[in-house]
């Protein structure tokens, strides 16, 4: 099988690696996003996919806009590829490109389609509190993740799993399905299932506005926002920016993970309960755990935080270092 691989982030690396390791395929080129400036020095940094491709002496093409890059389009046409394999590439493939691969364009998507079509399925499924997600391979068409489904593989989501951890679990599952899908298509025994677009939901690009925490929301909603948009969610304390990187919702009757079993029956101090303070108020300090913040419904334990200009630390170390007290306020 002659394969051109389209992909960019770490999530796509296991899929490229499994094709490189396969005795049945030949990755003839890789298409990825242009290098980006990252870090304090703003140095140009290649994508993880480019780094892996170069380590295997595979040609790498990086068009800023694929549909308008004549040179890359000509190279794709000349590649004589049987498949284009697409995993989190970051650009839509125009119809002219979709038609170039002899046996089609196969996409690996990080959700159980038709749920969470779009750019950020892992983040949005967590934000909405889904308890199950998975991987879908599909035969690409001109739409945004609208192609016929080939294989799916579900995965249960624990209450405290954040986006990066979920991506790390889904990535190798996607690689496994990609290899199986290509081999089935190559053997001519592929079965596809059209998507039911009436059941579709969407996962749009995430913007900075999505990172701001509103303490009037429920503890569970805030928890899902923090883990979905990890590690970027922010609030403020005493006029300083504060990133919230780990949380646990309390007082909502949820079944907590075993590691937090001692907090299963947690409730607000009865001296506070008759008149709950405004959302954003620190209402408790749990030893070796961290500060507990009042929300619009329930309370939120802060387990990992990062004050502006400081290193990430546990909620307990953070509370001790600043000598936080019941009554302190987060947010504006």
Same domain, yes or no: 79 and 162: yes
Domain membership flag for residue 300: yes
Across 220-230, average pLDDT: 98
Same structural domain for residues 109 and 130? yes
114 is in an annotated binding site: yes
* Residue numbers of the domain that contains 113: 2-203
**The domain spanning residue 69 has which CATH number?**
3.40.50.170
Mean pLDDT of 12-35: 96
Q: How confident is the model at residue 183 (pLDDT cuts 50, 70, 90)?
A: very high
Query: Is the pLDDT at 274 greater than 70, yes or no?
Result: no
User: Is 111 part of any known ligand binding site?
Assistant: yes
Helix, strand and coil content of the chain, in percent to the nearest 5, comes to 30, 30, 40
Of the three residues 173, 188, 203, the one that is the final residue of a domain is 203
Task: Confirm if 222 and 300 have CB atoms less than 8 A apart.
Answer: yes
pLDDT at 271 over 90: no
The answer to whether the annotation marks 254 as part of a ligand binding site is no
The total domain count for the chain is 2
Q: Are residues 36 and 90 in the same domain?
A: yes
Report pTM.
0.94
49: closest CA among 134, 147, 171? 171
Considering the domain architecture, whether residues 45 and 128 belong to the same structural domain is answered as yes
Q: Please give the average per-residue pLDDT across 222-244, as a whole number.
A: 96
Q: Is 218 annotated as a binding residue?
A: no
In-domain check, residue 328: no
Please say whether the beta carbons of 100 and 76 come within 8 A: yes
What pLDDT score was predicted for residue 38? Answer: 81
Last residue of a domain, one of 203, 235, 251: 203
98-155 pLDDT tens trace = 999 999 999 999 999 999 999 999 999 999 999 999 999 999 999 999 999 999 999 9
If asked whether residues 172 and 252 sit together in one domain, one would say no
Whether the pLDDT of residue 272 is over 80: the answer is no
Q: What is the mean pLDDT of the chain?
A: 95
Q: Give a yes or no: residue 330 inside a domain.
A: no
The reply to whether 29 and 51 lie within a common domain is yes
């Amino acid at each position: 099988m002659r394969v051109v691989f389209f992909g960019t982030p770490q999530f796509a690396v296991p899929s490229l690696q499994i094709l490189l390791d396969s005795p049945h395929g030949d990755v003839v080129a890789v298409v990825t996003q242009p290098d980006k400036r990252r870090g304090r020095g703003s140095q140009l940094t290649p994508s993880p996919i480019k780094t892996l491709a170069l380590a295997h002496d595979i040609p790498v093409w990086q068009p800023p806009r694929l549909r308008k890059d004549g040179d890359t389009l000509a190279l794709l046409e000349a590649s004589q590829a049987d498949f284009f394999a697409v995993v989190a590439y970051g650009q839509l493939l125009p119809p002219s490109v979709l038609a170039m691969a002899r046996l089609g364009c196969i996409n690996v998507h990080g959700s159980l389609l038709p749920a969470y079509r779009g750019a950020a399925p892992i983040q949005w499924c967590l934000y909405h509190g889904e308890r199950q997600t998975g991987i879908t391979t599909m035969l690409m068409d001109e739409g945004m993740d609208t192609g016929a489904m080939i294989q799916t593989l579900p995965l249960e989501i624990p209450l405290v799993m954040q986006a990066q951890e979920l991506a790390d679990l889904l990535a190798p599952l996607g690689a496994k399905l990609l290899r199986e899908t290509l081999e089935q298509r190559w053997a001519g025994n592929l079965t596809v299932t059209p998507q039911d677009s009436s059941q579709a939901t969407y996962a749009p690009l995430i913007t900075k506005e999505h990172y701001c925490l509103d303490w009037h929301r429920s503890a569970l909603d805030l928890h899902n926002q923090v883990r979905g948009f990890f590690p970027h969610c922010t609030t403020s304390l005493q006029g300083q920016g504060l990133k919230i990187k780990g949380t646990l919702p309390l007082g909502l009757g949820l079944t907590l993970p075993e590691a937090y079993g001692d907090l299963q029956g947690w409730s607000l101090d009865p001296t506070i309960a008759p008149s709950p303070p405004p959302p954003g108020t620190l209402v408790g300090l749990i030893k070796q755990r961290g500060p507990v913040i009042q929300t619009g419904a329930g309370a939120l334990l802060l387990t990992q935080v990062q004050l502006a200009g400081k290193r990430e630390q546990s909620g307990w170390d953070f509370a001790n270092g600043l000598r936080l007290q019941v009554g302190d306020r987060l947010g504006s």
